[in-house]
Structure 1
Amino acid sequence: MTALDAIRARQSRSKVTDVAPSHEDLVTLVAAAGRVADHSSLRPWRLIELRGDDRLALGAAIAKAQGDKSPSSKPLRAPLLIAVVASYRPSEKVPMWEQEAVASGVAHMLSLLLDEAGWGVIWRTGHYTRSRAVAKAHGLGKNEQLLGWLYVGGKPAGKPGRRKEVKARELMSRMPAPKPKKDADAAHVEAPVKKAKKDKKNNKKKAKKKS
């Protein structure tokens, strides 16, 4: 299977089974996902594996962030959650938004690699990803932000639903052509003409006032 084939076949899986890749399985895939374009090779990202009771701790943190009494059951939808963290590095060349784009690129690449390896994956987010309670549960530093989680598990039997076609031609264009500059001679001729019209208009107004 080529990279193009893998990308065309990839689909998010909202429901997965209770099997998951091991830590060693992930190491190989993460090493490949980390090859995304990275200005100055800052590596402004890191990943956190959530397995077993880790998911219960996250459920409690989500509940605290939302003011709910009962822990959220959302983290239990998959046996493995991979938290995607943007870990910003000091840099005069690379702004924060660009570093966050690198972390997002790693998540997308890892999602594709997991799917191609036979695992079901979906990237989940939520307003609570930036909450203090959830950040504390993940042990994030002051220079870090959570971008969401990859929910990973086995692919259930049956084919997933069809995805909407990407109409590439409608999303692509060329850079706009620069507007042509007015010819210097033409501008020199236009100026007196415009002045004459303006003077004529003003003269009509004055004539009306006198009458």
Structure 2
Amino acid sequence: MPVVLDAVGRRRSYSKVTSAAPTHEDLLPLVAAAARVADHGALRPWRLIELRGDTRRRLGDVMAATSGATGADALRLAEKPLRAELLIAVVASRRVNAKVADWEQDAAAAGVGHALSLLLADAGWGVMWRTGPLARTRPVHDLHRLTESEDLLGWLFVGGIPEDAKPGVRQAIDPSEFLSVL
């Protein structure tokens, strides 16, 4: 089996990870490789933001306040970004371009996020892409210092894989149900 096919076939989401995390320097070659996704016009309409340490707590506080949750619900929401030592925000950073529509630029940004998740998994890290309605709120937008032409697509939660980890399971598909011929 080709190496890439095998790596993609083994990919799983890990909802729980250990406190281990790749360093900024560890991420650089993975980001360089992820940047090879299809990108009409070579616009690079994306960027990634590392969230570590207290920044994760600030994100949780903003999410809890924005949600309107109170009590235990607010506390649970505030603690969500603390589930991994490293969060990588995946940002669609659209460029003004008459030939490349916004949706196509968003697809390139999502492609980078997915490629990076595959590369992190292949490097031995547990990864889960998390989103939700709070990702597109103004307070979360502002915390990430996004511009008006940017939108947050979600976060990659990254950490070590626990020894007793039970990765998310995907049911095998019948590819003929999803691949048609005209």
TM value normalised by structure 1: 0.80
Give unpaired runs (5+ residues) of structure 2: none
Give the 3-state SS of the residue equivalent to 2:57 in structure 1: helix
Q: Quote the residue 1:7 is aligned against.
A: 8
Q: Quote the residue 1:81 is aligned against.
A: 87
The equivalences for 1:73-152 within 5 A come to: 73-152=79-158
Q: What is the total number of aligned residue pairs between the two structures?
A: 175
After superposition, give the CA deviation of every residue in 1:175-208 in whole Å (9 maximum; x if it has no partner).
Answer: 2xxxxxxxxxxxxxxxxxxxxxxxxxxxxxxxxx
In structure 1, distance between residues paired with 2:13 and 2:99: 34
Give unpaired runs (5+ residues) of structure 1: 176-211
Query: Aligned in 2, Cα 1:88/1:58: closer, same or farther, shift over 3 Å?
Result: same
The equivalences for 1:46-65 within 5 A come to: 46-65=47-66
- Higher relative contact order, structure no. (Cα contacts within 8 Å, ≥ 6 residues apart): 2
Q: Percent identity?
A: 58
After superposition, give the CA deviation of every residue in 1:8-43 in whole Å (9 maximum; x if it has no partner).
Answer: 111011110000000000011000000000000000
Shift of 1:162: 3.5
In structure 1, distance between residues paired with 2:168 and 2:100: 39
Partner amino acid, structure 1, of 2:179: M
After superposition, give the CA deviation of every residue in 1:22-79 in whole Å (9 maximum; x if it has no partner).
Answer: 0000011000000000000000000000001010110011012211344511101111
Q: CA RMSD in A?
A: 1.2
Shift of 1:161: 4.9
In structure 1, distance between residues paired with 2:180 and 2:49: 39
Give the 3-state SS of the residue equivalent to 1:149 in structure 2: strand
Partner amino acid, structure 2, of 1:151: F
Whether the 8 Å CA contact 1:82–1:150 is kept in 2: the answer is: yes
Q: Which is higher, the Rg of structure 1 or of structure 2?
A: 1
TM value normalised by structure 2: 0.93
